[in-house]
């Protein structure tokens, strides 16, 4: 995990659509992640249309991402949430399931999914990563999304797509 925000990529090009899928649980922190990501995207990708889908908790994020990708898919999805560890292993199990599902969806659909569903030990860590300025994962997610949009646009310009490969489950 990085200790500082990555550099700011800038996307210049056609209008793009980005979707943020964020949990409502731990609302103070997830709202801050969303606000920071949207603010940073507006600066980095000013021509982007950002759609927001809110789900009850982190566990519901992958199925919502899958549903978004089954429709007119955005160029990139940002998954935002916060899981606070408790006295049981529940948080670790949810975090692992979400991570695995998001990676599988990204590969399956051939779309970047930026994973910032955070697993933290306490509210101090949550504050630092969601609200604070130095480790802000909402801003980091937007920067990663902008970088991936740029990379995928460059791939589209320089390499033709394989028409025999399908990224949809229904193919």
Q: Does the structural domain 17-158 have CATH classification 3.40.50.960?
A: yes
47: Cβ–Cβ under 8 A, 6 or more apart, which residues?
11, 13, 14, 15, 16
Asked whether the CA dihedral 111, 37, 61, 126 is positive or negative, the reply is positive
Q: CA–CA separation, 65 vs 89, rounded Å?
A: 25
Domain ranges of the chain: 17-158
Q: CA–CA separation, 78 vs 152, rounded Å?
A: 15
Q: Which residues pair with residue 28 across a beta bridge?
A: none
**What is the model's pLDDT at position 46?**
85
Catalytic residue (one of 8, 15, 17, 90)? 90
139: Cβ–Cβ under 8 A, 6 or more apart, which residues?
5, 36, 37, 39, 40
pLDDT tens per residue across all 171 residues of the chain: 455 565 655 555 568 899 999 999 999 999 999 999 999 999 998 888 999 999 999 999 999 999 999 998 899 999 999 999 988 899 999 999 999 999 999 999 999 999 999 999 999 999 999 998 888 999 999 999 999 998 888 888 888 777 665 554 444
**What is the model's pLDDT at position 110?**
92
Q: Is 167 a catalytic residue?
A: no
Q: How, if at all, do strands 113-120 and 76-84 pair?
A: parallel
**What is the model's pLDDT at position 40?**
93
**What is the model's pLDDT at position 169?**
45
């Amino acid at each position: 995990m990085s200790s500082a925000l990555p550099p700011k990529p800038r996307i210049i090009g056609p209008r793009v659509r980005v979707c943020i899928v964020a949990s409502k649980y731990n609302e103070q922190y997830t709202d801050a992640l969303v606000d920071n990501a949207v603010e940073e995207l507006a600066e980095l990708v000013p021509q982007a249309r950002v759609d927001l889908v809110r789900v009850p908790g982190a566990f519901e994020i992958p199925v919502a991402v899958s549903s978004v990708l089954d429709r007119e898919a955005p160029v990139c999805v940002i998954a935002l949430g916060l899981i606070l560890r408790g006295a049981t292993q529940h948080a670790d199990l949810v975090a692992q399931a979400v991570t695995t599902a998001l990676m599988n969806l990204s590969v399956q659909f051939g779309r970047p999914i930026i994973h910032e569903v955070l697993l933290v030990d306490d509210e101090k860590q949550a504050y630092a990563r969601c609200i604070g300025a130095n480790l802000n994962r909402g801003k980091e997610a937007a920067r990663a999304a902008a970088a991936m949009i740029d990379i995928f646009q460059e791939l589209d310009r320089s390499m033709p797509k394989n028409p025999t490969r399908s990224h949809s489950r229904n193919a």
